[in-house]
Chains A and B, each alone.
Chain A
Amino acid sequence: MTTVAELPAGFADKVLSAQSTFRSVMEAMARPGSVQRIEAAAAAGAPAPMMRATAAIALTLFDHDTPLWLDQPMSEASDVTKWLKFHTGAPVVQDSSICTFALIGDPRSLVGLDHFAFGSNEYPDRSTTLILQIESLTEGAAVELRGPGIDGTAALQAMVEPADLFARLEINQTLFPRGIDVVLVADDTVVAIPRTTRSVAKGG
Chain B
Amino acid sequence: MAAIGKSDEQNRRRAAMAVLAQAATAEIAARLDSIAPPAFENLREPENGLVMVRGRIGGDGAPFNLGEATVSRAAVRLATGEVGFGYTLGRDRQKAQLIALCDALAQSKEFAGAVEQQVLTPLRAAMTSVRDRRAAETAATRVDFYTLVRGEG
Q: Please list the residues of chain A having a beta carbon within 8 angstroms of any beta carbon in chain B.
A: 1-2, 4-7, 9-14, 86-87
In the complex, which residue of chain A has the Cβ closest to the Cβ of B45? Answer: A14
Tell me if B41 counts as interface (CB < 8 A to partner A): yes
Q: CB < 8 Å: which of B45, B47, B83 contacts A1?
A: B83
Shortest Cβ-Cβ A-B pairs, 3 listed: A5-B81, A9-B43, A14-B45
Q: Is A11 within 8 A of B83, CB to CB? A: no
Query: B81: which A residues are within 8 A, CB to CB?
Result: 2, 5-6
Given contacts A4-B43, A5-B77, 16 further A-B contacts (CB under 8 A): A1-B107, A2-B83, A4-B75, A5-B81, A6-B81, A7-B43, A9-B41, A9-B43, A9-B77, A10-B43, A10-B44, A11-B45, A12-B42, A12-B45, A14-B45, A87-B44
In the complex, what distance in Å separates the CA atom of A86 from the CA atom of B83?
Answer: 13
Query: B75: which A residues are within 8 A, CB to CB?
Result: 4
Query: B42: which A residues are within 8 A, CB to CB?
Result: 9, 12
Q: Mark B23-51, 1 if CB is under 8 A from A, else 0.
A: 00000000000000000011111010000
Query: B83: which A residues are within 8 A, CB to CB?
Result: 1-2, 4-5
What is the number of residues of chain B that contact chain A, defined by CB distance less than 8 Å? Answer: 12
Tell me if B82 counts as interface (CB < 8 A to partner A): yes
In the complex, what distance in Å separates the CA atom of A86 from the CA atom of B107?
Answer: 20
In the complex, which residue of chain B has the Cβ closest to the Cβ of A2? Answer: B83
Q: Mark B81-114, 1 if CB is under 8 A from A, else 0.
A: 1110000000000000000000000010000000
In the complex, what distance in Å separates the CA atom of A7 from the CA atom of B83?
Answer: 10
In the complex, what distance in Å separates the CA atom of A87 from the CA atom of B45?
Answer: 10
In the complex, which residue of chain B has the Cβ closest to the Cβ of A17? Answer: B45
Q: Is B47 within 8 A of A5, CB to CB? A: no
CB proximity of A15 to chain B, nearest CB, Å: 9
Q: Is B45 within 8 A of A10, CB to CB? A: yes
In the complex, what distance in Å separates the CA atom of A61 from the CA atom of B83?
Answer: 26
CB proximity of A168 to chain B, nearest CB, Å: 38
In the complex, which residue of chain A has the Cβ closest to the Cβ of B81? Answer: A5
Query: B47: which A residues are within 8 A, CB to CB?
Result: 14
Could you name 5 residue pairs across A and B whose Cβ atoms are closer than 8 Å?
Answer: A6-B81, A9-B44, A12-B45, A14-B47, A86-B44
Query: B107: which A residues are within 8 A, CB to CB?
Result: 1
User: In this complex, which of A7, A9, A86 has the most chain B Cβ atoms within 10 angstroms of its Cβ?
Assistant: A9
Asked whether A13 and B45 contact (CB < 8 A) given A1-B83, A4-B75, A5-B77, the answer is yes
In the complex, what distance in Å separates the CA atom of A6 from the CA atom of B80?
Answer: 11
**Segment 12-32 of B: residues with Cβ below 8 Å from A:** none
Query: B41: which A residues are within 8 A, CB to CB?
Result: 9
In the complex, which residue of chain B has the Cβ closest to the Cβ of A9? Answer: B43
Query: B43: which A residues are within 8 A, CB to CB?
Result: 4, 7, 9-10
CB proximity of A42 to chain B, nearest CB, Å: 15
In the complex, what distance in Å separates the CA atom of A197 from the CA atom of B56?
Answer: 55
In the complex, what distance in Å separates the CA atom of A102 from the CA atom of B81?
Answer: 31
In the complex, what distance in Å separates the CA atom of A12 from the CA atom of B46?
Answer: 10
In the complex, what distance in Å separates the CA atom of A13 from the CA atom of B41?
Answer: 13
CB proximity of A12 to chain B, nearest CB, Å: 7
In the complex, which residue of chain A has the Cβ closest to the Cβ of B44? Answer: A10
In the complex, what distance in Å separates the CA atom of A10 from the CA atom of B43?
Answer: 6
In the complex, what distance in Å separates the CA atom of A70 from the CA atom of B3?
Answer: 37
